[in-house]
Amino acid sequence: MSLAQLAWNKQIPADLRIFDAHSHFGPSHYTTTYLHPLPMEESLALAHRCGIKRIAGMALGALGESDAVKMNRWMLDACEQFPELMLYFYYKPMQHQALMEQLEQMKKHPSFFGIKIHPREDFSSLESREYDAIIDYAAENDMLVLCHTWDTEAVCRPRSFERYLQQYPRFRLLIGHMGGTYLGCQDTLELARRFDNVYCDINGSLYSGIWLEELVKKAPEHKFVFSTDETFNDPRIILGRVFFSALPDRLKEMIFCDNIERAVGKRLI
């Protein structure tokens, strides 16, 4: 049976490797929209029930006007308690010095996965020089950077990364949501075609007007990475998008796990 048939019959194979490369956990006072996080145990149970084996997440409470140092510590504690979790270290320019010191320590932890930035939530911009230091550091240390992008948000458009990608050939970038909109997707795909270390986070491109089967034709197949955007979005949305698409099973397996392993250069599951 195909993966689609197995998923339809609620028989997702136990040995199918699904890695969620973009997630958020924990308490927050996020008020722009109502979010409905589940307790950690229930949240992980839901993910496992749907076939997700491992998750790279950041502390939701680190976004915006909050202490990212404290919330990174919270997330690392969660990773130690739940081994299926891996840490996205959250960086924001407004706490640069303290976060760089914390990163120096946390990068050695076995649960460390990469760096997450979200210019919109942190009142900063990729168009300024505020992220130069962290991107320089990430490139130097071969760390993956995941950035929230949305083409209609001037502070975090995918195309703003072009200068960094030209400057740092080793810079590994996962473009969150692929820029969200149709134009954002087009720019993301162009960067993925031009730069070896650019990867496309397929979460968020649901409303780009490009079905997944068509999306994967527009850049090398190993560039597309599965993620859920939990706790903003439900993991079942993007799981269904991959499982029930008309893509061949081998490509689904690449999207679910192989491609992110290639991006970070190590086996994750």
Q: Which residues bind another protein (CB under 8 A)?
A: 7-8, 10, 32-38, 46, 49-50, 182, 206-215, 230-234, 236-246
Query: Which amino acid belongs to residue 37?
Result: P
130/201 with CB nearer another protein: 201
Whichever of 134 and 210 has its CB closer to another protein, that residue is 210
Q: 222 is written with which tokens?
A: 């190993």
Whichever of 102 and 205 has its CB closer to another protein, that residue is: 205
Minimum CB distance to another protein, residue 238 (Å)? 7
For 257, half-sphere exposure in the C-beta direction (CA atoms, 13 angstrom radius) is: 17
Q: How far is the CB of 34 from another protein (least distance, A)?
A: 5
Shortest Å distance, C-beta 129 to another protein: 30
Give the strand order in the sheet containing 85-90: 19-25, 54-59, 85-90, 112-117, 144-148, 172-176, 198-201, 224-225
Q: Do residues 106 and 76 make contact, with C-beta atoms less than 8 angstroms apart?
A: yes
Q: For residue 112, give both structure tokens.
A: 């460390």
Taking the complex as a whole, the smallest distance from the CB of residue 95 to another protein amounts, in Å, to 27
Residue with smaller CB distance to another protein, 19 or 131: 19
Q: Tell the smallest beta-carbon distance from residue 61 to another protein (Å).
A: 15
Q: At which residue do the structure tokens 């075609």 appear?
A: 193
* CB contact at 8 A, 91 and 103: yes
What are the angstrom distances between the C-alpha of 178 and each of 48, 116, 137, 173?
A: 25, 15, 23, 11
Q: Name which of 93 and 180 has its Cβ closer to another protein.
A: 180
